[in-house]
């Protein structure tokens, strides 16, 4: 694994950090690196990720819908969504930094809104006041340390029509990670990944401060439900690269 593929390089990124990755002239940066992943975490997996998104957001299959993607990044996953929305005559609003959006190809179905979410929610509503489906994939953990997930949840609810759905996907849950690496399967995975015959060090006592954990996931579910939506914590399928450490929140407005 080369230095630019070290997962630690892509930890603790912020909106500004992603802006820099998007505009970095380094030709060695892959499309996955620019959205905060080592190649090994995304390369070859995006078709399975997109298939999972389509399963969890069935309204995407209904022609002529209004779709919002919060923090789409610039990898092939976004290209797949644009092509899918174009084929079904959807209107797709993409919300990200100017630098990241510049890397996304233009298409008749696409509208672009610059700025971090949820701060730019009013500008999104200026394009379309409500949406049938909202996707927020691999983004929540970057919003958590700065704005807070409660504000994100409230802004998402304000942009959903009725009925509607939202997938807040690929959420790294440190409590789930602890359970995995404390299991026989997790210890075996760790030894295979590191190439060393040793178990993860003191994983159960790992500090959860600043991370998303079970408590935060459950609080988000409660917040959505209290506001009148159904909300569920749902697993990722085993063909996704981080399924044993990440989960999704599915929101449905009746």
SS3 113: strand
Whether residue 163 sits in one domain with residue 227:
yes
State how many domains the chain has. Answer: 2
Whether residue 91 sits in one domain with residue 166:
yes
Whether residue 235 sits in one domain with residue 190:
no
Distances from the Cα of 152 to the Cα of 14, 64, 139, 141, 166, angstroms: 15, 26, 11, 11, 12
Whether residue 180 sits in one domain with residue 62:
no
Burial of 126 (0-12, 13-18, 19+ CB in 10 A): exposed
| Residue partners of 167: CB distance under 8 A and separation at least 6 | 53, 56, 57, 133, 134, 135, 136, 137, 248, 249, 250, 251
Looking up residue 10, the CATH number of its domain turns out to be 3.40.50.150
Does the pLDDT value for residue 46 go beyond 70? yes
* Lookup result for tokens 């030709």: 27
Whether residue 44 sits in one domain with residue 79:
yes
Beta-carbon count within 10 A of 14 CB: 13
Whether residue 51 sits in one domain with residue 38:
yes
Q: Which residue has the higher pLDDT, 69 or 145?
A: 69
Whether residue 107 sits in one domain with residue 196:
no
Q: Supply 142's token pair.
A: 């970057």
pTM of the model: 0.92
Q: What is the pLDDT, as a whole number, of residue 7?
A: 59
Q: Which residue has the higher pLDDT, 190 or 158?
A: 158
Q: What is the pLDDT, as a whole number, of residue 20?
A: 93
Whether residue 185 sits in one domain with residue 162:
no
Does the pLDDT value for residue 193 go beyond 90? no
Mean pLDDT of the chain, nearest integer: 93
Q: What is the pLDDT, as a whole number, of residue 145?
A: 82
Question: 75 φ, ψ to 5°?
Answer: -90, -175
Whether residue 184 sits in one domain with residue 167:
no
Whether residue 190 sits in one domain with residue 119:
no
Range of the domain at 185: 175-205
- Percentage of the chain modeled with pLDDT above 70: 94
- Local confidence band at 202 (pLDDT 50, 70, 90 cut-offs): low
Q: What is the pLDDT, as a whole number, of residue 56?
A: 98
Q: What is the pLDDT, as a whole number, of residue 219?
A: 97
Whether residue 65 sits in one domain with residue 132:
yes
Whether residue 179 sits in one domain with residue 74:
no
């Amino acid at each position: 694994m080369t230095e630019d593929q070290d997962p630690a390089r892509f930890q603790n990124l912020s909106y500004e950090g992603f802006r820099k990755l998007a505009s970095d002239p380094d030709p060695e940066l892959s499309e996955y690196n620019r959205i905060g992943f080592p190649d090994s975490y995304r390369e070859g997996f995006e078709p399975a990720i997109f298939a999972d998104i389509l399963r969890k957001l069935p309204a995407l299959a209904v022609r002529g819908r209004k779709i919002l993607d919060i923090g789409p990044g610039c990898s092939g996953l976004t290209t797949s969504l644009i092509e899918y929305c174009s084929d079904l005559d959807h209107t797709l609003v993409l919300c990200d930094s100017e630098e990241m959006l510049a890397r996304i190809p233009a298409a008749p179905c696409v509208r672009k809104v610059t700025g971090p979410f949820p701060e730019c929610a009013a500008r999104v509503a200026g394009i379309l006041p409500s949406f049938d489906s909202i996707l927020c994939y691999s983004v929540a953990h970057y919003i958590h340390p700065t704005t807070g997930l409660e504000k994100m949840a409230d802004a998402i609810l304000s942009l959903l029509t009725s009925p509607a759905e939202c997938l807040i996907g690929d959420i790294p849950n440190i409590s789930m990670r602890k359970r995995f690496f404390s299991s026989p399967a997790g210890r075996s995975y760790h030894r295979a990944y590191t190439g060393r015959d040793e178990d993860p060090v003191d994983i159960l006592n790992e500090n959860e401060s600043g991370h998303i954990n079970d408590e935060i996931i459950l609080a988000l579910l409660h917040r959505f439900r209290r506001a009148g939506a159904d909300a569920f914590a749902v697993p990722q399928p085993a063909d996704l690269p981080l399924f044993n450490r990440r989960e999704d929140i599915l929101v449905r407005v009746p």
